[in-house]
Chains A and B, each alone.
Chain A
Amino acid sequence: GAVVSQHPSWVICKSGTSVKIECRSLDFQATTMFWYRQFPKQSLMLMATSNEGSKATYEQGVEKDKFLINHASLTLSTLTVTSAHPEDSSFYICSALLGRISYNEQFFGPGTRLTVL
């Protein structure tokens, strides 16, 4: 099956710093990738849709200047949390879209646990 990796798997940073998370599709090309966030005991929430070569589309309530998304190639999307604060501590997970004849399937990475001190 298709494999999606994320790096790092966990990160601890100080308040005010920026953190970059990478999402890679290892054995397929993905024009579209998605970024989700999950707070404890809550569901995965879509943050943004990332399209290769164009600007990301952000969901309502997600600050595009705080969560910078770059999808510069068909196998890599990055999410940068700028000026991170403790309330940004969460589980960030990406998915990459693999198009099929019958159904476009999202393959998920293993997630990145961000803790902001």
Chain B
Amino acid sequence: QKEVEQDPGPLSVPEGAIVSLNCTYSNSAFQYFMWYRQYSRKGPELLMYTYSSGNKEDGRFTAQVDKSSKYISLFIRDSQPSDSATYLCAMRGDSGGGADGLTFGKGTHLIIQP
């Protein structure tokens, strides 16, 4: 079993829809949970991070972490064509003073149809 599972998609939704992206993981040592957005031929860009369980909201984006289920989600409200990209979940522990490498999911290719 891979450490982080993420459906690669593609996920295609109409403009304005609510998008739900998810990852599951197996390593209970993970404490920080991140969502990155990656456009073609670009490096990943951090969207949001969450420490431990809970919800975090930033504009149209909401991140949720349920450590008991080892399940994280990213919700995008009022989706726009410009949101079309690959969304990567990533996570790390907290043992290296913040200098731990990240464990990534495969990324979900999201397409927002105008």
Chain A interface (Cβ < 8 Å from any Cβ of B):
4, 32, 34, 36, 41-46, 49, 59, 93, 95, 97, 99, 103-111
Contacts and interface: CB of A to CB of B under 8 A. Distances in A.
Contact of B104 (A32, A44, A59, A103): A44
Contact of B99 (A42, A46, A93, A97): A97
A103 B45 CA distance: 15
Contacts of B81: none
Given A43-B106, A43-B107, A108 B45 contact: yes
Interface stretch (B14-22, B36-44, B58-66, B67-75): B36-44
Which 6 pairs from chain A and chain B are nearest by CB?
Answer: A108-B43, A104-B98, A46-B101, A44-B104, A43-B104, A43-B106
Contact of A110 (B32, B36, B42, B88): B42
Contacts of A105: 46, 49
Contact of A42 (B32, B41, B102, B106): B106
Given A4-B43, A43-B4, A104 B106 contact: no
Contacts of A110: 41-43
A23 to B, nearest CB: 10
Interface string B83-95: 0000010100000
